[in-house]
Structure 1
Amino acid sequence: MNAHAAWGHPLLLAQVLRPRRDGRSEVALRVDALGEPRRALALEQAIRALPGVQRVAILPAARRLRVVWDPQRLTLDALVERCAALRCPAQPLPHDDADGARAAELHDALKRLLVAGMCMMQVMAYALVIYIGAVDFVDFTTRGLFRWLGFLTTIPLVAYSARPFFTGAAQELRERRLGIHLPVALAVALVFLASAYNTLRGSGEVYFDSVSMFVFLLLVARYVELRARHRGNAQGDAAIDAAPLLAQRRGADGMLETVPALALRSGDRVHVAEGDTVPADGVLESASARLDEALLTGESRPVLRRCGDALVAGSVLLDGPIALRVERSGTDTTLARIGALAARARAARNFATASDRDIARFVARVLLLTALTTAGWLLVDPARAFDAALAVLVVACPCAFALTAPAAFTRALTTLARHGVLVTDGAALDRLARVDTALFDKTGTLGVPRLEPAGVEPLRGASREEALALAAALARESSHPLARALADAASRSGPLPHADHVEAVAGAGLRGTLAGRELRLGRADFALGHALAPDRQRDALLLADAEGAIAAFRVTERPRHDAQATLDALRTEGVAPCIASGDAPERVAALANMLGISDWRARQSPDDKLARLHELHALGHRVLAVGDGSNDAPVLAAADVSAALGGGTGLAQAQADLLLLDDRLGGLARARSVANEVRQIVAQGRRWSLVYNLCAVPFAAFGFVPPWLAGIGMSLSSLAVVLNALRAGRDDHGAPRQELHA
């Protein structure tokens, strides 16, 4: 089948189509042409004209197109073929099963927040009339009417918007643990019921405004944190983006056919073109191949595989084409197993933090005080028991715990986002403030390939600049990482000459013609045309012509420009750095020495990195894991807190608690500083809560504080801790950004 018809295969449809509850289908398409406004507009109009299309959404920055249509009137292969006919090739993307659940969760939270906001504004307006009536500017009948209006308006807020607190409290009771939902639910329910009872009997105080404000503030904090977390998880929770969906299988007649990668079976022979991704684990049948496995194994340089060597799915073929005999496909590939390992590690992660224990103790004390107050007044004056118990519950309601942490975290998340750090899990900041060890990947995280001026060694008839320009004329035609390092170094010196007939020779290098002069760049034996080369040149890239070597280039791995400053800042904060890398020992040791890191390990597989993390945990350390590749996903998922670079793989980002969107390590030091500040602010809120309760609870328990005054105290206490929490993450706190990014 051709590439378009292949999208009608059931296996592919199951991977890319997301069924909707209305019976329609939705697909996400990667369309590079969306970067051109005219072509994007033409494509949108053409798709909207197709039969059955209901909605088209374009995301130009992400080069993505989302289409919702009736599958009875339009097929996916017809949609892809229509895009190709418009010279806008479209690549369907695998759907994430969690996408629908996350979207539904966020939509539900937004609806509850909007209902709470509208009800709160109405109730506050009605309460104003009641307060005015307290000084006899409004007659009793009018005050009674507005009490009823407040009651009716609060019903949807309590029954719908506050429902998550009630369901959370019910879950806490089922699990036999004390959490923040239980006192919040009790306070909301009892305050509402007491106000409703007083409204029905026409006397007593009502607190509809207090309960509506309390619910609204809590929902605001919950929604902002939920949205930040979902944005961070948008990369997906599996390694689906790294593995191709289609493969070129060679049939019995020797012809190539396009089939789903999931349809490959052991023994199938697959054709992989240069620049394509290997679709399955298998054995190389061609003479040799050079592949980029950096995102899978941690190797900083492309690896050379020869006939009979094993290839892993997700590797990018740099020199091709090649023939591959399939051994494992689908969920049995190495890449899929790494993703499954990361998922299991994250599912098994359980954080019983000191904060949770403190909240449980606080809630237990509030409930105990409420019960003792009720029992005492039942013995002394049963008529006052309910009001006194309600006053204690309201005045001692753990607002500091309910509002300080969400407000501080929300403020911190916003500040960090402005500085290129996206926190996908709000609780990660609390854990980040407690870490004492940072476990780094090396390749792509701490170090980047780079050609230093000293790495250019002219050998004959050319200056350093001339030799680098000649080599870059060939190198810029290749996507090889070492070639890119040469081209980047030369581009800083000015325009480059143009080479003709540049050809990549698999596993050897590049050759081409410049002004009639044939040049070769690559391995010494290839460049010189024979197997022998001076020992000092065998590990270098050589540029040569027909007369011999022109220059040697030694590309080294250098630390990221902000790596040293970040490590120094972390050390100042009491965080000790260490390295676990899949790269060769000599390269890991070299970079570790440059950065002053004595604790390092090389040739680490994903399982080895996870075992290293468990060793650190066994020694009592709290660990921050930092990486960028799919091989880092398991350790990122299992660490106390994890961070991934914005240029890393989707799998690594999906498992990370923090995303460094601008690819700068300096965000780690800023995040650590903000986390410490948030922790201090939360501690201040707890101290304030303790002092407030010690002062107010005795008066409420002895009947000197009526419920309405307790409500005012609760509101003022909430306002105080929220204002204090808004200091978190201010730009004048924490490590200076310009210093870390220098």
Structure 2
Amino acid sequence: MNAHAAWSHPQLLAQVLRPRRDGRSEVALRIDALGEPRRALALEQAIRALPGVQRVAILPTARRLRVVWDTHRLSLDALVERCTAMQCPAQPLPHDDADDARAAELHDALKRLLVAGMCMMQVMAYALVIYLGAVDFVDFTTRGLFRWLGFLTTIPLVAYSAQPFFAGAWRELRARRLGIHLPVALAVALVFLASAYDTLRGAGEIYFDSVNMFVFLLLAARYVELHARHRGNAQGDAAIDAAPLLAQRRRADGTLETVPALALRAGDMAHVAEGATVPADGVLESASARLDEALLSGESRPVLRRRGERLAAGSVLLDGPATLRVECSGEATALARIGALAARARQARDFAAASDRDIARFVVRVLALTTLTAAGWLLVDPARAFDAALAVLVVACPCAFALTAPAAFARALGVLARHGVLVTDGAALDRLARVDVALFDKTGTLGVPQLGIAGVEPLRGDSREEALALAAALARESSHPLARVLADAAAQCGPPRQAEGVEAIAGAGLRGMVAGRALRLGRADFALDRAQAGIHANSALLLADADGAIAAFHLAEHPRRDAQATLDALRGDGIAACIASGDTPARVAALATRLGIADWHAHQAPADKLALLGALRAAGHVVLAVGDGSNDAPILAGADVSAALGGGTGLAQAQADLLLADDRLAGLAHARAVACQVRDIVAQGRRWSLLYNLCAVPFAALGFVPPWLAGIGMSLSSLAVVANALRTGRESGHSRQELRA
């Protein structure tokens, strides 16, 4: 099966084709060449000429091409082959309902904006005639005609373009809460109804131009914010897009076959060609290979991997070919976990939720000011009461106040995703800016363990190789950093042993059956009874059976390459560091001393770590917890903010607010810098909103601001705070480079 014909496989078609109600199918293609306008145009024309193609949509920033066509007239493999013939290799992507929803949301917002723009231009032209009539005579019949034209042209704007504001106001009223949609809906409805009434009776002022400008400029600000949010969400899609759907598997006779990547099983030998993407997580069987792991690390420099080292799905092989022994594929890969977390990030809590009470109070004040203004003018000059109250309602509308946080947070998500940090809870950024204590796990987080054959100490006459092979049989069933070290060290000790009934005890170790023997691997107080455990208390890992200790494993540990720089950056930002580890006091103290951490705690079970976390929070600290193992999951779930390493366990990642997808601690300092910048930008936007209201509302209440000018001022204010929010991340990029250096 060649690469193109493989796309006729039913398992692949089910992954990538999205059936439509009209009987056609839709597919999204990842095409890197779409960044070049000429090639993108030529490809679009070539695809439109194919039989059965109904619609082609290009998304240049996402490097995606969406095609709707009749699969009975054109097969997917023929479509992919056509792209290749145009020198634009295409990678069909799994159909994603979230991506479809985002595209539909953005398309709907754009349509409403375009309708509002068209109506605004027409109504402004009609209004010009009426304004000219104030300085030069225009007969009443002509003025009446243009008033009616303005009325008829504004109807589509109110009924269609402004519909999201009315729907939002209705939702807010049903939920018995006040939000930004209510004053907008009131302003639009009051202006339109009052102007329509004056048009019908042929007298009085009309403000169709004001309502058109108001809705158009507000929709423009919303569209900018929505586009920024979608760009941020699209960064997480890179993990999903990069996962290859095809793989080359080596048969028993040595020949290659092209199969769906999902069909790979543990133990299969996959062939990865030069320039191809690694299709599954596994172990390199070739002597060495250079890979681009930018998807996971954000680092553009190639990484050299040697035989026995693990390769992650989604990495690109720069020197090939290479042979990969598959360990896991499909949804079990690290890349798939990152993709799942990216999807979780898309559904993160509403960024503005934390400020709902502030917005509600703001809206109450706006409505109160509007009511007071109307009441005051009814006493002084009833004819001017409506105009003055309307101007206050529009000027004081809290749109700029409410748009600041979503725009800044959306921008922050995109910036952090490009630098290897996935945010799965948008509210975590606000808490991260207030953190003053960072609580770290040791093994695998701050320290990287290593084990050579000389570090294996047999205690009952077994050879080092035999003891290591027995321990590795249990270790292969765990993703704990120490277990991975043992499994990697045993790769050169012959065929792997098989373990049965392996059970992981959080913070203690592993137990299971190997060759009919009940073995325990872990801390001395877990592997041995209390009387024997004291003899081996200083051993990092022990392997034991019912007769006692079999071997001790003495692991060397050194700090992660970027641990010291990250800790220094956090300390410089006022964050104290603390270590909570299940390891022995001697080993914890050694690493803490090297990293300059005075506050450390050893022999910490998960319950002990939670107790330590509770004590810190009771003392008034805001705590960031960082870990990578399943035993860290409770503290990650309980901390104010939590971060897990990309190489950690799935359970740890599932509990974390931040995922350091590049497996580098430097992402913490970068995320902290961005979080602080978001906090400052949100504060700037809100200060601007308050200052604008303090200056403009008195003039509006005194009748000096007509409704059309109030609409322009409020809308431009919203655009200004959104534009300011898009600065997020630009000033913190240097810190990332400094930490890498």
Q: Work out whether the TM-score is over 0.5.
A: yes
Distance 1:420 1:316 in 2: 19
Contact 1:277–1:314 (CA under 8 A) maintained in structure 2: yes
Give the stretch that moved more between structures: 11-20 or 132-141: 132-141
Pairing of 1:141-290 with structure 2 (within 5 A): 141-235=141-235, 240-241=240-241, 243-246=243-246, 258-262=258-262, 270-273=268-271
Instruction: Identify if the C-alpha distance between structure 1 residues 348 and 160 changes in structure 2 by more than 3 Å, giving closer, same or farther.
Output: closer
Indicate the residue corresponding to 1:126 in structure 2: 126
Q: How far apart are 1:72 and its partner, in Å?
A: 1.1
Q: Check 1:430–1:555 CA distance in 2 against 1; reply closer, same or farther (3 A cut).
A: closer
CA change 1:264–1:418 in 2 (3 A) is closer
Q: Aligned pair in 2 of structure 1 residues 736, 42: CA closer, same or farther (>3 Å)?
A: closer
Question: 1:433-452, aligned counterparts within 5 Å?
Answer: 434-436=433-435
Report the CA distance between 1:71 and its aligned residue: 1.1
Task: Tell me the amino acid that sits aligned with residue 679 of structure 1.
Answer: V
SS of the equivalent of 2:214 reads helix
Taking a change above 3 Å as real, the CA distance of residues 427 and 398 of structure 1, as seen in their structure-2 partners, is farther
- Kindly state the Cα deviation for residue 110 of structure 1 after the two structures are TM-superposed: 1.1
Contact 2:285 2:307 in 1 (8 A): no
Residue by residue, what CA displacement relative to the aligned partner does 1:504-539 show, whole Å, maximum 9, x if unpaired? xx969xxxxxxxxxxxxxxxxxxxxxxxxxxxxxxx
Q: Does 1:403 align with 2:426?
A: no
Following superposition of structure 1 onto structure 2, how do residues 42-53 of structure 1 map, counting pairs within 5 Å?
A: 51-53=51-53
SS at match of 1:15: helix
Tell me how far 1:709 sits from its aligned partner. Answer: 3.8
Contact 1:188/1:211 (CA < 8 Å) preserved in 2? Answer: yes
CA distances 1:269-290 after superposition (whole Å, capped 9, x unpaired): 63323578786789x9999999
Q: Which amino acid aligns with 1:11?
A: Q
Deviation at 1:133, TM superposition (A): 2.5
Q: CA deviation at 1:158?
A: 1.3
Please list the CA deviations of residues 528-551 of structure 1 after superposition, one character each: whole Å capped at 9, or x if unmatched. xxxxxxxxxxxxxxxxxxxxxxxx
In the TM superposition, residue 127 of structure 1 has moved relative to its aligned partner by 2.6
* 2:637 corresponding residue in structure 1: 614
Q: Distance in 2 between matches of 1:592 and 1:19?
A: 60
Cα distance in structure 2, aligned partners of 1:372 and 1:40: 58
Aligned partners of 1:419 and 1:98: how far apart in 2? 20
The amino acid of 1:183's aligned partner reads P
Unaligned runs of 5+ in 1: 449-505, 509-553, 618-622, 653-662
Q: 1:83 to 1:507 in 2, by over 3 A?
A: farther
In structure 2, the partner of 1:679 is 682
Residue 77, structure 1, aligned to residue 77, structure 2:
yes
SS of the aligned residue for 2:398 comes to helix
Preserved contact between residue 345 and residue 634 of structure 1 (Cα < 8 Å): no
**d(CA) in 1 for partners of 2:587, 2:671:** 27
CA shift digits 1:413-451 (9 cap, x unpaired): 899999997999998798388443679999999999xxx
Question: What is the DSSP-based 3-state SS (H/G/I as helix, E as strand, rest coil) of the residue aligned with 1:178?
Answer: coil
Q: C-alpha displacement at 1:162, in angstroms? A: 1.0
Instruction: Return the alpha-carbon distance in structure 2 between the equivalents of residues 723 and 42 of structure 1.
Output: 38
Output one character per residue of 1:468-522: Cα deviation in whole Å (capped at 9) or x when no partner. xxxxxxxxxxxxxxxxxxxxxxxxxxxxxxxxxxxxxx969xxxxxxxxxxxxxx
Identity within the alignment, %: 58
Q: What are structure 2's unaligned runs of at least 5 residues?
A: 449-490, 494-555, 602-608, 610-624
Q: Superposition pairs for residues 452-467 of structure 1, below 5 Å?
A: none
Contact 1:674 1:728 in 2 (8 A): no
Letter of the aligned partner of 1:616 in structure 2?
Answer: A
**In 2, Cα distance between the equivalents of 1:735 and 1:264?**
41
Q: Deviation at 1:574? A: 5.0
Secondary structure of 2:206 counterpart: coil
SS in 2 for 1:272: strand
Q: Cα deviation per residue 1:652-693 (whole Å; 9 max; x = unaligned)?
A: 9xxxxxxxxxx9999757645643442332232343366358
Deviation for aligned residue 1:211: 1.5
**Secondary structure at 1:112 match in 2:** helix
- Aligned-partner Cα distance in 2 for 1:398–1:445: 52
CA contact (8 A) 1:27 1:68 kept: yes
Tell me which residue corresponds to 2:504: none
5 Å-filtered alignment, 1:377-388, equals: 388=385
- TM-score w.r.t. length of structure 2: 0.60
Give, in whole Å, the separation in 2 of the partners of 1:35 and 1:555. Answer: 45
Distance in 2, matches of 1:722 and 1:311, equals 46
1:685 counterpart letter in structure 2:
W
Aligned equivalents of 1:507, 1:88: Cα separation in 2: 43
Q: 1:129/1:161 Cα in 2 relative to 1: closer, same or farther (>3 Å)?
A: same
Classify 1:32/1:70 alpha carbon distance in 2 versus 1 (closer, same or farther; 3 Å). Answer: same
8 Å contact from structure 2 (residues 681, 728) kept in 1 = no
**Deviation (angstroms), 1:185:** 0.7
Cα 1:270/1:40, change in 2 over 3 Å: farther
What whole-Å deviation, never above 9, does each CA across 1:275-310 have from its counterpart, x for those lacking one?
Answer: 78786789x999999999999999x9969869xxx9
Deviates most, 273-282 or 675-684: 273-282
Provide the rounded CA distance (Å) in 2 between the counterparts of 1:257 and 1:727: 53
1:379-410, CA deviations, whole angstroms, 9 ceiling, x for partnerless residues? x99x95x9746743541346452135547986
Deviations 1:545-598 (A, max 9, x none): xxxxxxxxx99987569x94x8777666656678999x9x99999799569897
Aligned residues of 2:407 and 2:722 also touching (Cα < 8 A):
no
Assess if the C-alpha contact under 8 Å between 2:352 and 2:405 holds in 1.
Answer: no
> Aligned equivalents of 1:672 and 1:109: distance in 2?
28
Shift of 1:188: 0.7
1:144 deviates by 2.4
Q: Say whether residues 1:103 and 2:80 are aligned partners.
A: no
Q: Aligned to 1:122, what secondary structure does the other structure show? A: helix
**Contact 1:54–1:69 (CA<8 Å) still a contact in 2?**
yes
Q: Is the 8 A contact 2:26 2:66 kept in 1?
A: yes
Helix, strand or coil at the partner of 1:108: helix
Aligned counterparts of 1:158 and 1:81: Cα–Cα separation in 2? 48
Name whichever of 130-139 and 36-45 sits farther off. Answer: 36-45
Distance 1:56 1:240, change over 3 A: same
Letter in 1 for 2:637: H
- 2:631 and 2:67 map into 1 onto residues whose CA distance is 42
Whole-angstrom CA distance in 2 between matches of 1:82 and 1:292: 29
**TM-score normalized with structure 1 length:** 0.60
CA apart distance, 1:332: 6.3
User: Over aligned residues, Cα RMSD in angstroms?
Assistant: 6.5
Residues in 1 aligned to 2:567 and 2:223: alpha-carbon distance in whole angstroms = 34
* Aligned equivalent of 2:509: none
Match status 1:691 vs 2:680: no
Q: Once the 2 structures are TM-superposed, how far is the Cα of residue 96 of structure 1 from its aligned partner?
A: 2.4
**Structure 1 contact 395–711 (Cα < 8 Å) conserved:** no
SS of the counterpart of 2:179?
coil
**CA 1:428–1:398 in structure 2 vs 1: closer, same or farther (change >3 Å)?**
farther
Q: CA deviation at 1:77?
A: 3.0
AA paired with 2:108? D
Q: Deviations over 1:144-203 (max 9, x none)?
A: 222222212221211111111111112222322211011111111111111111111111
- Tell whether 2:454 aligns with 1:431: no
Whether the aligned pair in 1 keeps the contact of 2:116 and 2:161 (CA below 8 Å) is yes
1:133 partner letter:
G
Spell out the pairing of 1:297-446 with structure 2 (5 A cutoff).
Answer: 321=323, 330-331=330-331, 336=336, 340=340, 343=343, 347=347, 349=349, 353-367=353-367, 388=385, 391-392=388-389, 394-397=391-394, 399=396, 401-403=398-400, 406=403, 431=430, 434-436=433-435
Cα distance change, pair 106–31 in 1 and its aligned pair in 2 (3 A): closer
CA distance in 1 between partners of 2:86 and 2:718 (Å): 58
Distance 1:44 1:170 in 2: 42
Equivalence map 1:556-595=2 (5 Å): 564=565, 574=574
Once residues 321 and 441 of structure 2 are traced to their aligned partners in structure 1, the CA distance between those partners, rounded to angstroms, is: 27
